[in-house]
């Protein structure tokens, strides 16, 4: 109705075109839809990544121009006071992180990430929840939550961060039932925080399991919708060699034989009511190496006797590329489009990871699902920024398509309009000639 009224307005201004009312309405309709679609497609995607303060990868070496958000990890939670604390050996890195990454990208948004205090315990994301963490205890009492929340805001401001991220991989069923209260209180504190005009409101994000349901309990989706700027799905570490005696895809996008896949989890989040516009796809810049029991049996699900290559089997993408190159010219990984994964098998070593092809496919999937963007773990594992460049290029593919549409569609519509006008004038001329 709005489009027709707009067309009628222009028709009243140009009466001669009123005979082509349908053409005008069609013109405005397509132009309006084109502008709306272009606006939607051009909305800024989240291109986020973690940087671990305990690594030997210098902050200054991060190519922050490839990201919109960078997350500095990790702050700890004191088990007595439930206040945030920065590891003493990382304080300097935390204090200079924002200023350094803004040198290459002044518009970058930085976040302070909070770990659940279980760095010494490792399990696959599908494994049972580990023993109660400091965060679990904090959730149980309002005074503990207050200390945690207030100290998180203070710490983020003190170290110059623009947001706070909660990276909690193993909440149990009790935790999930209490997280909603924490998020409500956290958002209220952030919204009421007194601040000067030079700083924006802190953003809140949270790392979540690949699926919203755990046992019979689900994440508090309604509270998350209200309070989080986004949630990033930890869509990796489904299978790890340190806890499973068979080879497995640790970050498969699809899985025809089970529900252990990113696609299944994303669809669960969306069907559960969490909006795609607040959901970010987590992508790993690491893989895992299994030691095959029988090197001739190197299929998916083949018997394995634990990790290979490294102590726990984990390998950053850069290390995996170097490992492959060590086998000489022609050695390369194999891309599997059924699962959307990469494999490299040599001898008794079976390695599963995400290479450039996989990253491109996952970005395409995220765009198809209307997600807000992606978040990588972690940037230090990239190899000469090959994965990040591939991700950015895949994002730009869509923008280039919309740019083409923005240019071509108006030209096509104007051509149609001009053709209609010519037809109209010719018809009038013939009508006049035909009159006695």
Higher pLDDT, 370 or 411: 370
In which band, very low, low, confident or very high, does the pLDDT at 149 lie, cut at 50, 70 and 90? Answer: very high
Confidence check: pLDDT of 209 > 70: yes
pLDDT given for residue 276 in this prediction: 98
Quick one: average pLDDT of 338-351? 97
Beta bridge pairs of residue 284: 377
Q: What are the DSSP E strand ranges found in 246-324?
A: 279-284, 286-292, 304-307, 314-316
In which band, very low, low, confident or very high, does the pLDDT at 414 lie, cut at 50, 70 and 90? Answer: low
> How far is Cα of residue 165 from the mean position of the Cα atoms in its chain?
13
Question: Within a domain: residue 292?
Answer: no
Question: Within a domain: residue 336?
Answer: no
Domain count for the chain: 1
pLDDT given for residue 329 in this prediction: 82
pLDDT given for residue 27 in this prediction: 46
Question: Within a domain: residue 31?
Answer: no
> How far is Cα of residue 150 from the mean position of the Cα atoms in its chain?
27
Question: Within a domain: residue 101?
Answer: yes
Question: Within a domain: residue 317?
Answer: no
pLDDT given for residue 245 in this prediction: 95
In which band, very low, low, confident or very high, does the pLDDT at 130 lie, cut at 50, 70 and 90? Answer: very low
Q: Give 392's contacts (C-beta < 8 A, 6+ positions apart).
A: 47, 66
Q: Determine contact, residues 51/41, Cβ cutoff 8 Å.
A: no
- Calpha distance 220→181 (Å, rounded): 9
128-132, 297-301, 377-381: range with lowest mean pLDDT: 128-132
In which band, very low, low, confident or very high, does the pLDDT at 90 lie, cut at 50, 70 and 90? Answer: very high
Q: Name the pTM for this structure.
A: 0.82
pLDDT given for residue 251 in this prediction: 98
274-288, 303-317, 335-349, 399-413: range with lowest mean pLDDT: 399-413
69-73, 150-154, 320-324, 400-404: range with lowest mean pLDDT: 400-404
Among 218, 192, 187, 216, which residue's Cα sits nearest to residue 203? Answer: 187
In which band, very low, low, confident or very high, does the pLDDT at 45 lie, cut at 50, 70 and 90? Answer: very high
Q: How far apart are the first and last CA of the chain?
A: 42
pLDDT given for residue 217 in this prediction: 87
Confidence check: pLDDT of 150 > 70: yes
Determine the structural domain holding residue 182 and report its residue range: 43-284+357-403
- In this predicted model, what pLDDT tens digit does every residue of 5-37 receive, in sequence order? 434 443 444 444 444 444 444 444 444 444 444
- Calpha distance 420→412 (Å, rounded): 12
pLDDT given for residue 407 in this prediction: 52
In which band, very low, low, confident or very high, does the pLDDT at 156 lie, cut at 50, 70 and 90? Answer: very high
Confidence check: pLDDT of 308 > 80: yes
pLDDT given for residue 94 in this prediction: 97
Question: Within a domain: residue 79?
Answer: yes
Scanning the structure block, which residue is given the tokens 């909305």?
43
In which band, very low, low, confident or very high, does the pLDDT at 413 lie, cut at 50, 70 and 90? Answer: low
In which band, very low, low, confident or very high, does the pLDDT at 38 lie, cut at 50, 70 and 90? Answer: very low
- Reduced to 3 DSSP states, what percent helix, strand and coil does the chain have, rounded to the nearest 5? 45, 20, 35
Give the number of other Cβ atoms within 10 Å of residue 288's Cβ.
31
In which band, very low, low, confident or very high, does the pLDDT at 412 lie, cut at 50, 70 and 90? Answer: low
CATH number at residue 239: 3.20.20.80
In which band, very low, low, confident or very high, does the pLDDT at 417 lie, cut at 50, 70 and 90? Answer: low
pLDDT given for residue 115 in this prediction: 87
Higher pLDDT, 216 or 8: 216
pLDDT given for residue 185 in this prediction: 98
Confidence check: pLDDT of 49 > 50: yes
pLDDT given for residue 269 in this prediction: 98
Q: Which percentage of the chain shows pLDDT scores above 90? A: 70
- In this predicted model, what pLDDT tens digit does every residue of 366-405 receive, in sequence order? 999 999 999 999 999 999 999 999 999 999 885 544 444 4
Quick one: average pLDDT of 46-56? 95
Question: Within a domain: residue 89?
Answer: yes
Question: Within a domain: residue 27?
Answer: no
pLDDT given for residue 192 in this prediction: 94
């Amino acid at each position: 109705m709005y489009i027709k009224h707009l067309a009628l307005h222009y028709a009243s201004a140009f009466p001669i075109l009123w005979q082509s009312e349908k053409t005008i309405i069609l013109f405005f309709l397509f132009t309006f839809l084109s502008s709306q679609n272009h606006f939607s497609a051009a909305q800024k995607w989240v291109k986020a990544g973690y940087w671990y303060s305990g690594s030997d990868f210098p902050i200054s070496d991060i190519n922050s121009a490839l990201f919109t958000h960078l997350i500095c990890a990790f702050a700890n939670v004191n088990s007595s006071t439930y206040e945030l604390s920065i590891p003493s050996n990382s304080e300097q890195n935390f204090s200079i992180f924002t200023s350094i990454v803004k040198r290459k990208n002044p518009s970058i948004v930085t976040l302070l990430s909070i770990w659940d205090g279980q760095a010494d315990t490792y399990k696959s994301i599908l494994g049972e929840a580990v023993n109660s963490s400091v965060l679990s205890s904090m959730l149980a009492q309002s005074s503990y939550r207050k200390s945690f929340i207030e100290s998180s805001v203070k710490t983020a401001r003190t170290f110059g961060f623009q947001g706070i991220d909660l990276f909690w991989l193993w909440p149990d069923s009790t935790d999930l039932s209490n997280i909603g209260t924490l998020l409500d209180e956290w958002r209220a504190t952030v919204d009421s925080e007194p601040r000067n005009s030079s700083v924006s409101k802190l953003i809140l994000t949270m790392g979540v399991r690949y699926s919203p349901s755990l046992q019979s309990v689900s994440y508090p989706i309604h509270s998350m919708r209200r309070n989080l700027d986004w949630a990033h799905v930890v869509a990796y570490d489904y299978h790890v060699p340190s806890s499973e005696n068979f080879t497995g895809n640790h970050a498969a996008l699809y899985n025809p034989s089970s529900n252990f896949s990113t696609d299944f989890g994303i669809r669960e989040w969306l069907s559960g009511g969490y909006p795609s516009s607040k959901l970010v796809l987590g992508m790993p810049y690491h893989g895992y190496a299994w030691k095959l029991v029988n090197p001739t049996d190197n299929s998916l699900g083949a018997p394995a006797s634990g990790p290979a290559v490294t102590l726990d089997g984990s390998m950053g993408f850069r290390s995996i590329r170097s490992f492959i190159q060590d086998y000489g010219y022609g050695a390369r990984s194999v891309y599997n489009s059924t699962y959307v994964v990469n494999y490299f098998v040599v001898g008794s070593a079976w390695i599963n990871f995400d290479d450039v092809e996989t990253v491109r496919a996952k970005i395409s999937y995220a765009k198809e699902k209307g997600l807000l963007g992606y978040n990588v773990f972690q940037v230090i594992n990239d190899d000469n920024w090959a994965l990040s460049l591939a991700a950015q290029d895949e994002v730009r593919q869509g923008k280039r398509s919309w740019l083409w549409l923005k240019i071509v569609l108006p030209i096509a519509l104007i051509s149609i309009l001009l053709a209609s006008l010519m037809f109209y004038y010719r018809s009038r001329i013939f009508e006049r000639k035909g009159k006695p």
